[in-house]
Amino acid sequence: MNLKTSRLDLKLKHTFRISRESSDVRNNVLVEIEHDGLTGFGEAAPSPHYKETADSVIEALSRFPLEVYDDVFLLEDILNHAVEMLTPNWSAISALDMALHDLVGKKLGVPLYQLWGLNPSRTPQTSFTIGIAGIPEIQEKTREAADFPILKVKLGTEDDEAIVSAIREITDKPIRVDANAAWKDAEEAKRKIEWLAGQRTEFVEQPMPERSPGMRQLKRASLLPLFADEDSRRPEDVPRLAESFHGINIKLTKCGGLREAMKMIHVARSLNLHVMLGCMIESSLGITAASHLLPLVDYADLDGHLLIQGDPFAGVEYRRGYLSIPTLPGIGVTQHQ
Ligand code: MG
C-alpha cells in the first residue's frame, strides 16, 4: 500500500479562543492510502498542546513502511506496528487508522458503522461550541447557533459568570461547560460548579488538571457530572480517571484513531463512566470518521468542521441537532475538487 501525506490548512470562520490559546488557521494533514485502485482518506489534527504539529505528523508518517503491507484487512498488525514505531505521534497514528478503516469499508462496500454492527439512528444530539470572546460577540454567536439544541461554552476566565449570564439573556437551552483545566483550584471549581448547576448546565468538562489537589474530592462534592478531556488521552488512562471524573471525552486525534477509541469506550463502560465523543477543529473528513462511533456514546461534541471556511470534504450532515452518518462505503466522505 502507498501512503501520501499533504498539508490541509483550514481557515476558521471566527478566531477560536479557549482558556490557553487562540487561533485563526489550523494546520492539519491529509493522509491518502492507495491500494488496488481505491483510496482511503485520513486526517490528522495535531495540537501543540499534545506536542504535535503538521510537520511532526508528516515526518512521522514518512518513516512508516506501509509499502511492506499488501493486505488492508491486517488492521491489528499494521496499527500495532504504527503504535510501536510512532508513539507518541497519536494524531499521525489516528490519520493512518482512519485511512485504513476507510479503505477496508470501501473494499467491502459497507459504511464503518455497518462493519461494526452499529445502529446509525441511535446517536446522541451534538453540541455547538461557543469559544471565549467579548460579551457582545458571545451573544452574537449564541444567536447564530439558534439551530443547535445544546451549546458547549468555553470558560476558564475571570468573566465566567458574565459569559454564562450573557448567554442566558439570549436562550435557556441546555449548556455544557468546558473549563479546559483552567480553574485554579478546587475551591474555585466547586464555587463555579454550584453556580452553574442553577444555570441549566448538563456537565462540566475538565475543571482543572487531574493531578490538582482536591480533584478526587471534587468528584464526590460536585453537583454536576465531571468529564475528563485533556487528561483522557489513551485507553490506559481510563481506570485512573474513574477516581476523579464521572465521564471521559474521547477524541481520535488524542488516542490514535478509531480502533483505540473503541477500546477506550469499552474500558469506560466497564467502569460505569459516561462517554463523550469530541473533536479538534477538523474538516468533515475527521468529523465524519468519528461520527461512525456515535451509536456507542452518550454525548457528542462533533462540531469542528462547522467552525471552518471552505470545508474540503462533505460527509456528516446536521438534522435538528443530530448528525446523520453517511451511508457510503468506508468513512463516506467525498472530496470537493
Ligand atoms: Mg474539552
Residues 128-139 have a mean pLDDT of 94
Question: pLDDT by residue (tens digit) across 55-102?
Answer: 999 999 999 999 999 999 999 999 999 999 999 999 999 999 999 999
Q: What is the pLDDT of residue 22?
A: 79
Is pLDDT above 90 for 320? no
Q: Tell how far the Cα of 59 is from the centroid of ligand 1, in angstroms.
A: 27
Distance 205 CA to ligand 1 centre (A): 6
- How is domain 2-109 classified at the CATH fold level? Enolase-like; domain 1 (3.30.390)
Cα 92 to ligand 1 centroid, rounded to whole Å: 20
User: What is the model's pLDDT at position 319?
Assistant: 83
Is the pLDDT confidence value at 262 over 90?
A: yes
User: Ligand 1: distance of its center to the CA of 109 in Å?
Assistant: 34
* Ligand 1 geometric centre to CA of 111 (Å): 28
Domains 2-109 and 115-335 share a fold: no
CATH topology of domain 115-335: TIM Barrel (3.20.20)
Asked if 272 and 245 touch (Cβ cutoff 8 Å), the reply is no
Query: Parallel, antiparallel, or unpaired: how do β-strands 299-300 and 313-314 relate?
Result: unpaired
Instruction: Express the helix, strand and coil content of the chain in percent, nearest 5 each.
Output: 40, 25, 40
Quote the pLDDT of residue 180: 96
pLDDT beyond 90 at 312: yes
User: In the numeric block, which cell numbers belong to residue 168?
Assistant: 442566558
CA of 13 to the centre of ligand 1 (A): 20
* Residue-wise pLDDT tens digits, 45-57: 999 888 999 999 9
Domain-by-domain residue ranges, the chain? 2-109, 115-335
Q: State in Å: Cα 195 to ligand 1 middle.
A: 20
The average confidence (pLDDT) of the chain is: 96
Question: What's the pTM?
Answer: 0.95
| pLDDT band for position 188 (cuts 50, 70, 90) | very high
Cα 114 to ligand 1 centroid, rounded to whole Å: 29
Burial class of residue 188 in the structure, from the number of CB atoms within 10 Å of its CB (0-12 exposed, 13-18 middle, 19+ buried): middle
204 and 227 Cβ atoms separated by less than 8 Å: yes
Cα 83 to Cα 23: distance, rounded to the nearest angstrom: 29
- Please give the distance, rounded to the nearest whole angstrom, from the Cα atom of residue 229 to the centre of ligand 1: 5
pLDDT in tens, 189-243: 999 999 999 999 999 999 999 999 999 999 999 999 999 999 999 999 999 999 9
